[in-house]
């Protein structure tokens, strides 16, 4: 069955990115797999007046069920309206790995897709990305491509080292593929362990400080494709508060390091129009569930442990939109 995102009340990312570029902020793309995460994202972005990209990976789509997911997207729009939130909402496929998957998502109501050909050689990446763009644009669905490889897990492939985006490829890639936005590699990384302790220095309090992002590469890219929307993946800050809470309540997350918030704030003021956050949300949920179970081992009502997780996730999202992405108060 084919469903246009337009009939679900969703929007593509074109206008969102145009406004973000003009006003110097980044739109948050929060990953979700379940009801509580979705509720937290809608309330967090609605209450803070931020546009939002609801982001679904291939694995999340399989986990949540594609039919239910389409209806969750529709439900999210209706829920936002019912609460008086006047924010644009996009439903986006994260790290699509084939034309078939992108087509299936577009037919199932997604308003935006990512085709991640970054692990292929350049010509194959161009070909794959163009095939998705040609199909998606028939339905006014926006497409994100990627150049450069992030370390960590991406597209079911684990890369040990980042391969930074080569600025001299971006103009040709954008022109030949027709993509609407471009994910780049400038030192961010997926997951909660973005850097080894050896890659970091230590500040006065003994906290690990990761190497700075390569803003020089970002600037060069901006010069080659002025005004073109750039995307940052692997942009969770791995907030200390939640890592500590997890460890205090029986967890074992050692030496987890993320991207410092000031680096992300700086990026959001540039051509970076979309910032992807998954791990920070996972850490919040895990911290709160662990805390409830640790403090009340007899608890077995899911609402009693997922409810506090949902509440805390909403607060984290509001803070991020306000203090890091600058997307709050724009709608
Ligand atoms: O970049 C990957 C996202 O964090 C999604 O992760 O494939 O485990 O859902 P996942
Ligand atoms: P994090 O693992 O840093 O949250 O990155 C998420 C991401 O890039 C999803 O595509
Ligand atoms: Zn990613």
The residue to mutate among 233, 261, 264, 316, having the most atoms of ligand 2 within 8 angstroms of its beta carbon, is 233
**Residue 156 confidence (pLDDT):** 52
Q: Which tokens in the block code for residue 265?
A: 């704030």
**Residue 206 confidence (pLDDT):** 81
The answer to whether 34 and 302 are in contact (CB under 8 A) is no
Q: Is the CB of 232 under 6 A from ligand 2?
A: no
Dump pLDDT digits (tens) for 51-108.
999 999 999 999 999 999 889 999 999 999 999 999 999 999 999 999 999 999 999 9
Q: SS3 string of the chain? A: CCECHHHHCCCCCHHHHHHHHHHCCCEEEEECCCHHHHHHHHHHHHHCCCCEEEEEEHHHHHHHCHHHHHHHHHHHHHHHHHCCCCCCEEEEEEEECCHHHHHHHHHECCCEEEECCCCCCHHHHHHHHHHHHHHHHHCCCEEEEEECECEEEECCEEECCCECCCHHHHHHHHHHHCCCEEEECCCCECCCECCCHHHCEECCCCCEECCCCCHHHHHHHHHHCCCCCEEECCCCCCCHHHHHHHHHCCCCCCCCECCCHHHHHHHHCCCEEEEEECHHHHHHHHHHHHHHHHHCCCCCCHHHHHHHHHHHHHHHHHHHHHHHHCCCCCC
Q: Given the CA of residue 191, which atom of ligand 1 is nearest to it?
A: 4
Q: Is the CB of 41 under 6 A from ligand 1?
A: no
In terms of Cα–Cα distance, which of 184, 144, 150 is closest to 267?
184
The C-alpha atoms of residue 136 and residue 187 are separated, in whole angstroms, by 29
Q: Given the CA of residue 60, which atom of ligand 1 is nearest to it?
A: 9
What are φ and ψ of residue 52, in 5° steps?
-145, 145
The C-alpha atoms of residue 99 and residue 2 are separated, in whole angstroms, by 16
pLDDT bracket for residue 1 (50, 70, 90): low
**Residue 153 confidence (pLDDT):** 56
Dump pLDDT digits (tens) for 108-123.
999 999 999 999 999 9
Measured in Å, residue 257 CA sits from the centre of ligand 2 at 13
Dump pLDDT digits (tens) for 278-304.
999 999 999 999 999 999 999 999 999
Which one of the listed residues 23, 94, 97, 134 is annotated catalytic? Answer: 94
Percent of all residues in the chain with a pLDDT value above 90, rounded to a whole number = 89
Angle at the Cα of 305 (from 304 to 311), degrees rounded to 5?
95
The residue to mutate among 155, 277, 278, 285, having the most atoms of ligand 1 within 8 angstroms of its beta carbon, is 278
In terms of Cα–Cα distance, which of 249, 251, 162, 238 is closest to 207?
238
**Residue 155 confidence (pLDDT):** 44
Residue 53: strand, helix, or coil: strand
What are φ and ψ of residue 84, in 5° steps?
80, 20
Q: Which tokens in the block code for residue 313?
A: 């996730």
DSSP state of 95: E
Measured in Å, residue 271 CA sits from the centre of ligand 2 at 19
The C-alpha atoms of residue 155 and residue 174 are separated, in whole angstroms, by 21
Ligand (nearest to CA of 59): 1
The residue to mutate among 58, 60, 157, having the most atoms of ligand 1 within 8 angstroms of its beta carbon, is 60
278 flagged as catalytic: no
Higher pLDDT, 192 or 153: 192
Average confidence score pLDDT of the chain: 95
- Kindly list the structural domains of the chain, giving each domain's residue range(s) and its CATH number in brackets, ordered by start: 5-196+213-238+259-278+314-325 (3.20.20.70)
pLDDT bracket for residue 316 (50, 70, 90): very high
Dump pLDDT digits (tens) for 129-176.
999 999 999 999 999 999 999 976 544 555 666 799 999 999 999 999
Average pLDDT over residues 197-208: 86
Average pLDDT over residues 312-316: 99
Q: Which residues surround ligand 3, an ion (CB under 5 A)?
A: 233
User: Atom 8 (ligand 1): residue with closest C-alpha?
Assistant: 59
The C-alpha atoms of residue 327 and residue 84 are separated, in whole angstroms, by 18
């Amino acid at each position: 069955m084919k469903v246009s995102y337009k009939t679900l009340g969703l929007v593509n990312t074109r206008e969102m990115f145009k406004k973000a570029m003009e006003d110097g902020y980044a739109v948050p793309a929060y990953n979700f797999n379940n009801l509580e995460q979705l509720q937290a994202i809608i309330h967090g972005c609605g209450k803070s007046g931020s546009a939002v990209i609801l982001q679904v990976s291939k694995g999340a789509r399989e986990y949540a069920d594609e039919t239910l997911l389409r209806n969750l997207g529709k439900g999210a729009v209706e829920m936002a309206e019912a609460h008086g939130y006047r924010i644009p909402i996009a439903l986006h496929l994260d790290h699509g790995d084939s034309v078939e998957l992108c087509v299936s998502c577009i037919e199932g109501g997604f308003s935006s897709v990512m085709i991640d050909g970054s692990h292929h050689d350049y010509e194959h990446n161009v070909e794959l990305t163009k095939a998705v763009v040609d199909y998606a644009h028939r339905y006014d669905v926006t497409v994100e491509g990627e150049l450069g490889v992030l370390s960590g897990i991406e597209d079911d492939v684990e890369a040990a080292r980042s391969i930074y985006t080569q600025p001299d490829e971006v103009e040709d890639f954008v022109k030949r593929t027709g993509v609407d936005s471009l994910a780049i590699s400038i030192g961010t990384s997926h997951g909660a362990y973005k850097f080894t302790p050896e890659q970091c220095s230590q500040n006065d309090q003994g906290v690990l400080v990761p190497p700075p992002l390569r803003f020089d590469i970002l600037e060069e890219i901006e010069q080659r494709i002025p005004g073109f929307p750039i995307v940052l993946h692997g942009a969770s800050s791995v907030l200390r508060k939640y890592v500590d809470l997890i460890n205090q309540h029986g967890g074992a997350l050692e030496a987890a390091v993320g991207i410092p918030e000031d680096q992300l704030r700086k990026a959001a003021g540039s051509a970076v129009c979309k910032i992807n956050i998954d791990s920070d949300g996972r850490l919040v949920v895990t911290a709160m569930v662990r805390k409830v179970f640790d403090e009340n081992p007899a608890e077995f009502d899911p609402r009693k442990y997922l409810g506090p997780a949902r509440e805390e996730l909403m607060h984290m999202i509001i803070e991020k939109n306000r203090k890091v992405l600058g997307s709050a108060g724009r709608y």
